[in-house]
Amino acid sequence: MQSTEIAPDLLNSFESHLVRASAGQRFANYIIDFVVFIIVLFLITVIVGVVSPETLNAYVDDDSPSSGLVDRLLTIIFYGTYMGIVEAVFKGKSLGKLITGTRAVNLDGTRISAGTAFARGFSRAVPFAAFSALGSPCNPWQDKWTKTLVINEKESELASR
């Protein structure tokens, strides 16, 4: 009886080797992305001021105590939406991640979907979510809850799936 051994298919047996982004890279991502968000928010405010000055004046003149809370809530929701859109369009990247050479991926190394990108974005809207990134290794809530990971692209090997 003859035994036939099948050589393993090298393309299908390739496994991902993921290297987690450092806490410094994650912090740089946050700072860069937050600054870009503030610039986008400023530009939107300028556009609203030009298109509809009475809307902006009514908002600025509102001194009620609840206006500050509403402002913060809207800003947090807008930040989550903004980050979700950016990561969905650029497949796990933001400007901060582009600069630092990192990317958000699923735990198996595959690219995140648009739904996962939005889930990551809205996870950031949870109060005190930024504090969840403290520690080593850096594993914030948006990673835990969406089963994703931010990797160092230069040091990682992604499976082509």
41-99 pLDDT per residue, tens = 999 989 988 888 887 666 666 666 666 777 888 888 999 999 999 999 999 999 999 99
> 10 Å Cβ neighbour count for 42?
10
Structure confidence at residue 100 (pLDDT): 96
pLDDT at 156 > cutoff 60: yes
For residues 39 and 107, give the distance between their C-alpha atoms in angstroms, rounded to a whole number.
32
Structure confidence at residue 130 (pLDDT): 79
pLDDT at 152 > cutoff 90: yes
Mean of pLDDT values over 21-47: 93
Structure confidence at residue 110 (pLDDT): 92
**How would residue 32 be classed by pLDDT, with cut points 50, 70 and 90?**
very high
Which region, left, alpha or beta, applies to residue 104 given φ > 0 means left and ψ of -120 to 50 means alpha?
A: beta
- Yes or no: say if 26 and 150 are a contact pair by the CB < 8 Å rule: yes
Structure confidence at residue 30 (pLDDT): 92
pLDDT at 161 > cutoff 50: no
- Yes or no: say if 158 and 109 are a contact pair by the CB < 8 Å rule: yes
84-116 pLDDT per residue, tens = 999 999 999 999 999 999 999 999 999 999 999
Structure confidence at residue 59 (pLDDT): 64
Mean of pLDDT values over 4-21: 61
